[in-house]
Amino acid sequence: MSIYDIQVTTINGDQTTLQSYQGQVLLIVNTASGCGLTPHYKGLQHLYETYKDQGFTVLGFPSNQFAGQEPGTEEEIKQFCETNYQISFPLFAKVDVKGEHAHPLFQHLVKETPAPFNTGDIEWNFVKFLVDQQGQVIKQYSARTEPSAIEADIQELLAK
């Protein structure tokens, strides 16, 4: 199965797939509004603004699986992100990212990340997955990896 065939729900409740992102470099992130790492939103938005016109997109997937740090509704999450971080990259409906009910996208990302970048798990909020223009998972970054530390990898993929 291709990453582009996976069904997702937007933050506004629309069912879709990732097909519209084919040909772009993607940074897919599980997010949370009440986490100590929530300021990563600022760096993610900066990357998006810097590279969106070159074929790069950040995709945010809120999750409440880690210490209940994303308890709000989709509307509350969207409002929080827009008000506090001026987020303009695509956000999706809240999902589980690990365990028995993990969303198929995150199952795919964890399974397809190549060694030595695959941890086999999503340890916390703000784990980041870099996907190339063909939908191949290139790297998994830990939750604590600052978005700015990923910039060189994004530039390298965009140059291809």
Domain of residue 138, CATH code? 3.40.30.10
* Annotated active-site residue in 8, 35, 37, 102: 35
pTM here is 0.96
Helix-strand-coil split of the chain, %, nearest 5: 35, 20, 45
**pLDDT-derived band of residue 136, with 50, 70 and 90 as boundaries?**
very high
Per-residue confidence band for 150, with pLDDT thresholds at 50, 70 and 90 = very high
Rounded Cα distance between 160 and 2, Å, is 20
Q: What is the mean pLDDT of the chain?
A: 96
Hey, what are 72's tokens?
């709000």
Q: Locate 138 and state its tokens.
A: 């290139």
- The count of structural domains within the chain is 1
* Token output for 21: 């992102």
**pLDDT tens for each residue of 60-116:** 999 999 999 999 999 999 999 999 999 999 999 999 999 999 999 999 999 999 988
Contact 127, 140 (CB under 8 A): yes
Residue 120 — very low, low, confident or very high, per pLDDT cuts 50/70/90? confident
Q: pLDDT grade, residue 119 (50/70/90)? A: confident
Provide the pLDDT for residue 118.
Answer: 83
What's the domain range around 106? 3-158
Annotated active-site residue 35? The verdict is yes
